[in-house]
Amino acid sequence: MAGAESYHVTVHDNGGRVRPAFTMRQLPSVGLCFDIDGRRWQVQRVTSKIENSGDSTSVMCDAVQVAR
């Protein structure tokens, strides 16, 4: 069913740190903005995408903090 898939997202920030993983309903892509820990982030690059069993996909991406 379209839209039922969830994406487990792990973000590497521009300082090389890994942010806590979170789940979203939209596939992260370059330019997408989202909030983590009250800060705004923008995806710079999607580094991996792994299809899991069921309706979830694990995605790793690089992101930078941007102004709100």
Whole-number Å distance between alpha carbons of 2 and 64: 29
**Percent of the residues in the chain that have a pLDDT greater than 90, as a whole number:** 62
18-27 pLDDT per residue, tens: 888 899 999 9
Q: Select from 39, 32, 37, 38 the least CA-distant residue to 62.
A: 32
pTM: 0.81
